[in-house]
Structure 1
Amino acid sequence: MAELRDVAGFAAACAEPALVIFERDCPGDERPRAAIDAARTFAEGANRTKGIRDSAWAAQRAYQEARDAGLEAASDVARAAVAAASAAYLHPLAKATQVIHILGAAAHAARAFELDAGDDRQIGDEFIRKAHELAGPVVVSVLTRYPDAPGGRGRVGELLRNLDASLRRSAG
């Protein structure tokens, strides 16, 4: 449980900076913030409750609504929030798809910043470097128990795999 708390704390720390984009583009919609807050509260010692899952599902709906409204950056922020809340439910089976629960918040936040800057990939790459610095030794240790990040998923997948590879290199 302590490791899950570290992973959820890392995911929340990665997702939170991007909230400014979502809240600018979708004023009054608190669902992504609530999901990130739920992840952070769990990371700080609260019980893992149905409320975390519920907040993730609500952020998923916010993602869909932002996407359908053509708000690409905001939709990626909401997906980062979903990933942050989902980090509390990382599955112990060593499947590559579980890496998304660990690093998805960082990858989606990076993509949101890129899109908000006119699809400037340097912005996303810089955010991935910052996320690398946020990942503590427990997060890296947990990550290395899983296979490498899966292929696909477009630019978000590329950002995720870049972060995955850099963290694994740092683990030595």
Structure 2
Amino acid sequence: MSELIGKAGHKTLAVWAIDCAERVLPYFEQEYPEDHRPRKALEALRDWLSTGVFRMSVIRRASLDSHAAARDTGGDNPARSAARAAGQAAATAHVPRHAYGSAIYAQQAIYRATGTSDADTEAAKERDWQQSRLMKLISRK
């Protein structure tokens, strides 16, 4: 996956980070329906993608707010990992390699949400989807 990430452009990685985070965001939103910080982090990244206008203060705040939402969940759980995936995705506007963090946290969310006997298998399926999705996004260029 690291080699693929190295081949992808900045905006391609941002789209991929959103895709990864959105797949697990329901873990957070179902538990905390009134907390929109992770969703707003993804919206901030989308705004950057659509306008090309980068404001460090906006991206940083969106990312940090999503990570604060993760901390507010308490222990290690799928909601926490999902909020972290969104926070890492937002940070991709600043540093492209943060997209990898979004992917890893998405895998972790699925691992934590799955029964112990199937957790490794389900996380591997997610990793395979992520790789396939990134390859598809790269090939569109």
Which range, TM-score by smaller chain?
0.7 to 0.9
Match of 2:115 among 110, 118, 124: 118
Match of 2:29 among 16, 23, 43: 23
Q: CA deviation at 1:71?
A: 5.5
Question: Retained in 2: the 8 A contact 1:25–1:71?
Answer: no
User: Aligned AA for 2:14?
Assistant: A
SS of structure 1 residue aligned to 2:51: coil
SS of structure 2 residue aligned to 1:81: helix
Partner of 2:84: 79
Normalization by structure 1: what TM-score? 0.67
Partner of 2:104: 107
Question: Retained in 2: the 8 A contact 1:32–1:81?
Answer: yes
- Taking the aligned partners of 2:129 and 2:51, their CA distance within structure 1 comes to 25
User: Aligned AA for 2:50?
Assistant: E
Normalization by structure 2: what TM-score? 0.81
Q: Deviations over 1:47-99 (max 9, x none)?
A: 11221211101001001111x2x3511110011011100111117xxxxxxx4
Question: Retained in 2: the 8 A contact 1:56–1:82?
Answer: yes
Question: Retained in 2: the 8 A contact 1:74–1:112?
Answer: yes
User: How many percent of aligned residue pairs carry the same amino acid?
Assistant: 27
Over 4 Å off, 4+ runs? none
Partner of 1:56: 63
Q: CA RMSD in A?
A: 1.9
Higher RCO (C-alpha under 8 Å, 6+ residues apart): 2
Unaligned runs of 5+ in 1: 92-98, 139-172
- Taking the aligned partners of 2:107 and 2:50, their CA distance within structure 1 comes to 24
- Taking the aligned partners of 2:50 and 2:123, their CA distance within structure 1 comes to 28
Q: Kindly tell me the number of residue pairs found equivalent between the two proteins.
A: 127
SS of structure 2 residue aligned to 1:115: helix
